[in-house]
Amino acid sequence: MANRTIQMPVFDLTGKTAIITGGTKGIGFGIAATFANFGANVIITARTASAVKEAAEDINKNYAAKGASCIGVPADSSKQADIDNVISEALKAFDEVNILVNNAGIAGKTAKVLTDECNEENFENVINTNLKGVFLFSRSIAKQFVAQGKGGKIINVASVGGLIGGPGVIAYGASKAGTISLTKTLANELGRDNITVVAFCPGYVVTPLNEDVFLDAEGNHTKIYDLSAKNTAVRRLGEIEEIAGPVTAFACDCFSYVTGTTIVLDGGQTIGR
């Protein structure tokens, strides 16, 4: 058989529309901005209307030259009515949706299982946001993908916390392990409709939400940063761009044959040092 001409992979999201939950700050905002930089129209969600408005304005200001447009829709990803409204607003603005990034999540209280703080209320709050929300949004967007007839991509932001146990984070770890399992089932069921699903598991990443723990007022590493870095093979913590980049790559068409897998982005935290 003669060699055929190879179609080179293209890292481009021009003409695509993506919904990113929890997209106003940290990793979620990094993913939204990177998608926009590669030409995607973006819908970002969060529970706070002012935060959604500010983040959308920021993306439109900085990435409009790339041909992208961003709208913000306040939403609680654990509520079906809010999810339906997000998808409706996305269709009004951009006619179709091609990518969903389930990024919204909370850590909950840090509490060991035998303490009073590790209670049913905390467990339910974390599971509702981190796992129930992924289920509800994935199911709803999958129905939309099938109706459009063009397939689509679902990207779930899990965590190394779903792969390894740690003290005080039983609800968070359970929610992320559930997300990894849910990813596999979704991929199995939706593959026939050309819908691919993956889970990304970040390790330690410096974000605006935790930089006061990892960095001092002058921007130098704290003792907590140094201790955490020793748990990685590369002896440093990750940056937002190092999560947003791989997520963006998967969202592009060149990763259309990847589904049902877990991609670990942890600098070697889970391989042993």
pLDDT of residue 64: 78
pLDDT tens digit at each of 273 positions of the chain = 678 888 777 789 999 999 999 999 999 999 999 999 999 999 999 999 999 999 999 999 998 777 789 999 999 999 999 999 999 999 999 999 999 999 999 888 888 989 988 899 999 999 999 999 999 999 999 999 999 999 999 999 999 999 998 888 999 999 999 999 999 999 999 999 999 999 999 999 988 878 888 988 888 999 999 999 999 999 999 999 999 999 999 999 989 999 999 999 999 999 976
Residues paired with 154 in a beta bridge: 100, 197
Domain range for 29 is 17-203+238-262
CATH no. for residue 105?
Answer: 3.40.50.720
Q: Is residue 250 part of a domain?
A: yes
Q: Are residues 255 and 233 in the same domain?
A: no
- Rounded to whole angstroms, how far apart are CA atoms 12 and 43? 18
Q: What is the pTM of this model?
A: 0.94
The predicted structure's pLDDT at residue 111: 87
Joined together, the tokens standing for residue 81 give: 């009515």
185 and 67 fall within a common domain: yes
What pLDDT score does 1 carry? 63
* Domain identity same for 132 and 163: yes
Q: Is residue 75 located within the same domain as residue 130?
A: yes
- Same-domain status, 148 and 31: yes
| Residue 231 lies inside a defined structural domain of this protein | yes
**Res 181: pLDDT:** 98
Residues 51, 171 within the same domain:
yes
- CA–CA gap between residue 108 and residue 198 (Å, rounded): 24
User: Catalytic site residues?
Assistant: 172
- Asked if residue 5 is part of any domain, the answer here is no
For residues 167 and 114, is the Cβ–Cβ distance under 8 A?
no
Q: Are 266 and 28 in contact (CB under 8 A)?
A: no
Q: What region, left, alpha or beta, does residue 242 occupy, with left being phi > 0 and alpha being psi -120 to 50 degrees?
A: alpha
Question: Count of domains in the chain?
Answer: 2
Integer CA distances (angstroms), 87 to 12, 42, 74, 162, 268, in order: 23, 12, 12, 28, 37
Distance CA 153, CA 161 (A): 23
